[in-house]
Every structure is written in structure tokens, then in C-alpha cells.
Amino acid sequence: MIVNKIGGSLASGPSVFDSDDDPDLVGDALPFALKTIEALIVQSPQNPDLLLAAASGFTEYSYVYVAQKAERLAGENLEESNALRTRARRLAMRAHAYGMRGLESRYKGFGAELASDPDAALARVKKREVPLLYWTAAAQGLVISSSKDDPEMIAQLPLVEAMARRAMTLDDTWNEGTLPEFMITIEAARSGLKPDDRQKQIDEYYQRALQLSGGHRASLFVSYAENSSVPTQNRAKFQEMLERALAIDADQHTETRLATLIAQRRARWLLGRADELFLEGAAPGGKVN
């Protein structure tokens, strides 16, 4: 009973990490916190709240503290960068497994049905599982992004998209625009789209996320810069988006202070790489208000 109560507490509301002003301190503390959650899962293996906490925690740790570090080291130490990329993939796979266990705990046979009939499986999922759907899809997206030389993994992208779209259908307002922001990344990764169609869809998701977040999510501007401005070689828009991310005062929204600081750290890194990301004399692209 105590373990289950702890699980409910972990899954409800912002954690003490969310308002922290020191991303490195949080990064050092997260491994212990994640192993504690895993220890609690051993005591209560089907607790969906604990499984959600594990899925979200391992996904965030994999992306922010391992995968991004691998990116930063790619030009300096390729061997270490590749090792970190492999570790990020393993952590994301662990996150995905916990997410799937969480969904299975709510919907018996979900995993097998998802493999054979994704539409039917996802149609069973209710609004309360939107967080589980998101973190499970995000974890799988990270696995795919770190497996670009694995055709079997890349073939899983439509399933990630299907889970994200189901979450959007159930509640696209969840977590102040997280879902339409996630869809920006998915649209950028989809193949077979005409450039104009892709850009139109990305802009629609951007506007929806901007509306829901009130312009306070620095990660939204970073995502647009990476997934739209770089592919379209619109350096002016890239600069504008990242400057908007950096202009946000993290202390004005303490409940998302950590996420803001992490996004701003990436924004600064991207600005420092602008000459690598854009061809000299690249023409400006489309227009986004």
C-alpha cells in the first residue's frame, strides 16, 4: 500500500526536479532517483504510476543527459560520442519497455494487439493514459533516432506517429502543448511528404503548441529551429526562434524552470553551430508569426 501511494505521488504534479535551477545537479541526482523507482517497481510490478515515472524519467535522462552530450562530443571525440549514443539508445529502450508495461497494466494484451492491429489497440486507450502514450512514443522515437542505420527500427516510426496522434485525439491540450510540439519532430522525420505539405503541417502544430503554452515553452522554439529552419535553410528564422527561447525568463515560471534552462542550453549550442548547419548564402524560407 505504501509503495502504491508513493507511485501515485510520483505521477501526480510537478516534481522537485522541475523547479530546480541547476540542470547539472539534477543530472547527477537522476540515476539514483531512477534506480529507486525501479526498486519500487520490483515491489509493485503492475503499478501504472510507477511505470509512468520510470518511462518518463528514463526518457528524459536518455535524451537530455546522454544523447545530447553525445551530439556535443561528435566533433571532438567520436569514440566517446558513439559510446554515449549506444548508452542513450539502451536507456530509451528501457523507458519504452516501462511505458509498454504501464499500458499493458491498464489494457490486458495491449502489446500483442499493438503489434498485430495498432488501430484497434490504440482505440482502447482512454484519456487518462495520455501521459503513458506520450512517454512511450517519445522513448521509441529516441530509440529510432539513435538507430538510423537500422531499417527495422526506422520502420517503427509510423507506430510512434500513431501513438502520438491517438494522444492528440484524446487530449491535445495535455501539458501545455507538449503533444503538438512532439508532432513537429514526427512530421520532420516522416518520409514521402512534399516540402510544402510538410512545412504547412509543422506550422500548424507550432501554432497550436504556441497557443497552448502561451509562448512560455523554450523547447518549442528550439524544436522549430531544428526541425523546420535547418531543413529549409532559413537561417534568419533559426536565429529568431532560438533568440525567443533564450528571452524566456525561467524564474517567471518556476514549475517549468528546469525544462526552460535545459532548452536554453541547447539553444546556445545550436547558435554556436549555425555556420555548420547553414550553407553560405542560403535563402530565407517561409514565414511564421
Same domain, 111 and 203: no
Cβ proximity of 77 and 34 under 8 Å = no
Q: What is the pLDDT of residue 4?
A: 61
Flag whether 201 is in a domain: yes
Residue tagged 542505420 (cell numbers): 149
Burial 141-159 (b: 16+ CB within 10 A, else e): bbbbbbbeeeeebeebbeb
Same domain, 2 and 110: yes
Q: CA 173, CA 177: separation in Å to the nearest integer?
A: 6
Q: How many domains does the chain have?
A: 2
Alpha helices in 146-254 (DSSP H): 151-154, 157-171, 178-189, 195-213, 218-224, 235-247
Residue 178 is part of a domain; what is its CATH number? Answer: 1.25.40.920
Flag whether 167 is in a domain: no
Q: pTM for the complete prediction? A: 0.91
Three-class DSSP category at 230: coil
Flag whether 287 is in a domain: no
- Statement: residue 243 has pLDDT above 90: yes
Cβ proximity of 144 and 160 under 8 Å = yes
Same domain, 4 and 110: yes
Q: 248-286 pLDDT, tens per residue?
A: 999 999 999 999 999 999 999 999 999 999 986 544 444
Residue 9: pLDDT band with limits 50, 70, 90? low
Residue 179: which of 192, 164, 191, 194 has the closest Cα? Answer: 164
- Statement: residue 64 has pLDDT above 50: yes
Give 162: exposed, middle or buried? Use CB within 10 Å, 0-12, 13-18, 19+: middle
Residue 221: which of 272, 157, 177, 277 has the closest Cα? Answer: 177
Q: What is the pLDDT of residue 127?
A: 97
Q: What is the pLDDT of residue 146?
A: 87
Q: Considering 131, 160, 180, which residue would you say is the last residue of a domain?
A: 131
Same domain, 209 and 94: no
Q: 10-56 pLDDT, tens per residue?
A: 555 446 788 999 999 999 999 999 999 999 999 999 999 999 999 99
Same domain, 76 and 27: yes
Find the domain containing 80 and state its range: 1-9+21-131
